[in-house]
Chains A and B, each alone.
Chain A
């Protein structure tokens, strides 16, 4: 099974900051990683798939990079609506796995 480990688990930042979240896979998954944003009481929302492809309608301040086993999600110029929990996900082989999450809080 492929394990995904996110870091950090918690992140405190201010509006306007640039933040980076890392997701490491226990084995190579080429560029087949997705990122989601989740707010309390809501379903996860797809931000990025294929490691770097921005889902339609997602603001361009979100970007993803990486391949193999290390990936990053970067948010430039944080907006108030960006404070949420972020998850990475892979389904290149079953079982599908999610990272444990990164909670982004307002400083």
Chain B
């Protein structure tokens, strides 16, 4: 059974930092891209960042570029999101998601398995 388990969410002051983790099991983690998606209260999902299967390629939303860093450890089957200089508008539930592509070699990604989410609250 595929499982994605996020952790690390917390209440943090503006300007603070957090590191989220996503422990994966039940599938071959190292062959899939992975993604962080967040959802602010009452809003729709918002893509945050994606990383290729090897970790060499990373992509960020403009709203987090330069402040957040995505990484992965394929030996530990774990995805990370380092978040710095946090803002009130970063408050959201953060989900990690497995990211397969419709066709090999084609940029046509979707999210087939999601974790349960971890809540990040940025407030003074």
User: Which residues of chain A have a CB within 8 Å of any CB of chain B?
Assistant: 30-32, 34, 36, 38, 43-46, 49-50, 53, 55, 85, 87, 89, 91-101
Closest B residue by C-beta to A49: B110
A93 to B117, CA, bound (A): 25
State whether B44 touches A34 (Cβ < 8 A): no
Shortest Cβ gap from B104 to chain A (Å) = 13
Interface contact B47-A49, CB-CB below 8 Å: no
Binding site secondary structure of chain A = loop
Q: How many A-B residue pairs have CB under 8 A?
A: 67
Q: Which range holds the interface residue count of chain B?
A: 20 to 34
A98 engages B46 (CB within 8 Å): yes
Q: Are B112 and A91 in contact (CB under 8 A)?
A: no
Q: Is the CB of A92 within 8 A of B114?
A: no
- Among B93-124, those with CB < 8 Å from A are 95, 99, 102, 106-117
The smallest beta-carbon distance between B50 and chain A, in angstroms, is: 7
Q: Is there an interface contact between B109 and A96, defined as CB atoms closer than 8 Å? A: yes
B66 adjacent to chain A (CB < 8 Å): no
Q: Is the CB of B44 within 8 A of A91?
A: no
User: CB-nearest residue of chain B relative to A35?
Assistant: B110
What's the least CB distance linking B79 to chain A, in Å?
15
> How many angstroms between the C-alpha atoms of A72 and B119 in the bound complex?
32
